[in-house]
Amino acid sequence: MRKMSQLKKIFNKGDLAVTAECGPPKGADPEAIFKKAELLRGKADAINVTDNQTAIVRMSSLAACGLLISAGLEPVLQVVVRDRNRIALQSDILGASAMGIKNVLCLSGDHQSFGNQPQAMGVFDLDSIQLIQVVKTMRDEGTIWGGGPLTKSPELFIGAVANPFADPLEFRPVRLAKKIRAGADFIQTQCVYNLDKFEEWMNMARERGLTEQVNILAGVTPLKSSNMAKYMKKRVSGIDIPDELIKRMEETPKNRQRDEGINICLETIQRLKEIQGIRGFHIMAIEWEEAVGEIVERAGLLPRPSFDQD
């Protein structure tokens, strides 16, 4: 079992990191995870496992992370505060570390009204910033929240998310700063399509000195079709797709739209590489894990560095 997060090692070395995403199945089938694991093996340094994303019931993130570890991949455990109170969250954090999980991503989570259990009680006992703080306390102080020693501290590289496209824009860097102060080691952003707005956000982050304090991975999602682009723009909260990109997808014949989606993604990565303070890419190819290999290869991000087990 690895002793230290691969992701952390890459940042320490100063290389560009690559993370990808694996959404657990809507069922109890471990093969679904193993299949995605094979598509992503060697293409990314760590694999985010989403936690009942869009509030739709899926295999638990913790269990799916365990399956990825058994397949020899490094997971990033996504934890949302929507479904669990501080007792359950801390308990899962301890369990995650015991299972060999090295990275955790703390989020608030999509509101339960969006999913397939809209009658569920939303917990939100902690918010994402408080969860970061709780995990950091457990790791660095060796105590649960509010005191009380742990027999062993969880060893976790702590991540948080940022949405540069949400409002109010001028307040976004304040919240990013709070996440860093709470203990975030790395940040994965919402998927970037609107590069101008993203650059504006990065400039604000840089002015506050935040890019020096945290490792920012820019999120990208290849578009599969013009319909997906339109759907995401309209329906998925916090996504900003400029009209010219939608037009470009629409003007591409249907059978070539996936290729065009990958082209756009590669152009985006190219521009992101030029932005000072970007430490890597988070490639969220939603139910299209096959695309990740092509993207990292064509973006010149292969081979992924490997480290001796230490």
Partner 1 sequence: MITAEQKPIDKIREMIAPYKRILALGCGSCVAECAAGGEKETAMLASTLRMAAKLDGRDILIHEKTVDRQCVKDFILPLDDIIDQYDAVLSLGCGAGVQAVAEIFSAVPIIPALNTEFIGETRDQGYWVENCVGCGDCVLYDFGGICPLTRCAKHLLNGPCGGSRDGKCEVDPEVPCAWQLIIERLSKFNALDRLEKIYQPKDWSMKQGLGPRNIIREDQQR
The one-letter code for the residue type at 121 is M
| Closest CB 222 distance from partner 1, rounded Å | 20
Stretch of 27-35, 62-70, 103-111, 249-257 contacting partner 1, by CB under 8 A: 103-111
| Closest CB 143 distance from partner 1, rounded Å | 14
Beta carbon nearer to partner 1, 129 or 278: 129
H or E element that contains 92: helix 86-98
Token pair recorded at residue 168: 């109010």
- DSSP-derived letter for residue 143 is B
User: Beta-strand (E) ranges in the chain?
Assistant: 17-22, 46-49, 75-80, 103-107, 157-162, 186-191, 215-220, 278-283
Considering only residues 10 to 29 of the shown chain, the ones binding partner 1 according to CB under 8 A are none
Beta carbon nearer to partner 1, 233 or 273: 233
Check: CB of residue 114 under 8 Å from CB of residue 55. Answer: yes
Helices 290-298 and 257-273 cross at an angle (nearest 10°) of 50
90 near partner 1 (CB under 8 A): no
Beta carbon nearer to partner 1, 128 or 268: 128
| Closest CB 30 distance from partner 1, rounded Å | 31
130 near partner 1 (CB under 8 A): yes
Going residue by residue from 238 to 277, which x/- string records binding to partner 1, judged by CB under 8 A?
x---------------------------------------
307 near partner 1 (CB under 8 A): no
Beta carbon nearer to partner 1, 67 or 106: 106
Beta carbon nearer to partner 1, 177 or 195: 177
| Closest CB 69 distance from partner 1, rounded Å | 29
Check: CB of residue 225 under 8 Å from CB of residue 254. Answer: yes
Whether omega before 303 lies within 30 degrees of 0, making that bond cis, reads: yes
| Closest CB 51 distance from partner 1, rounded Å | 15
125 near partner 1 (CB under 8 A): yes
108 near partner 1 (CB under 8 A): yes
Cα 230-267-295 angle, rounded to 5 deg = 90
Beta carbon nearer to partner 1, 10 or 126: 126
Q: How far, in Å, CA of 97 to CA of 103, rounded?
A: 9
Return the number of other C-beta atoms located less than 10 Å from residue 108's C-beta: 16
Cα 81-75-99 angle, rounded to 5 deg = 80
Going residue by residue from 148 to 187, which x/- string records binding to partner 1, judged by CB under 8 A?
-------------xxx--xxx--x--xx-xx--xx-----
Return the number of other C-beta atoms located less than 10 Å from residue 3's C-beta: 9
Q: How far, in Å, CA of 124 to CA of 113, rounded?
A: 14
Beta carbon nearer to partner 1, 40 or 180: 180
Give the residues lining the site for partner 1 (CB under 8 A): 82, 86, 108-111, 113-114, 122, 124-130, 133-134, 145, 161-163, 166-168, 171, 174-175, 177-178, 181-182, 190, 237-238
